[in-house]
Amino acid sequence: MRIAFQNVPIYHHANSELPTSAELKTELSKNLQYRACAVIEAPIWTKVTLTDASKSTGAFTILLSDPGRKLAGIIRKPAYMFG
């Protein structure tokens, strides 16, 4: 299941780069409900987020495996990122 996360706070590195896919994945895994999900495709920032450096929030997508069909319930809970 592909999920889009919106309104994610953007914290730029000292070199002005966005957090990497690995950093997004690590941050998302801090939310207990997502620890049981297998990542099929790493998180990817949306094009709008990548092209507008002035934004304070952005969005990314991620593809997760849902063999237990639990994601429908999981995505109803808020995910906290960088906060």
Range of the domain at 12: 2-74
30, 42, 50, 64, 66 from 69: Cα distances, Å: 21, 20, 32, 11, 5
Q: Give all strands (DSSP E) within the chain, no chain letters.
A: 2-9, 38-45, 57-65
Distance CA(7)–CA(4), nearest Å, equals 10
Q: Is residue 64 part of a domain?
A: yes
43-79 pLDDT, tens digit each: 999 999 999 888 889 999 999 887 777 787 888 888 8
Query: φ and ψ at 40, to 5 degrees?
Result: -90, -40
Per the structure, the count of domains in the chain is: 1
7-51 pLDDT, tens digit each: 999 888 888 889 999 999 999 999 988 887 888 999 999 999 999
Q: Is residue 79 part of a domain?
A: no
Quote the tokens at residue 45: 């920032």
Q: Is residue 80 part of a domain?
A: no
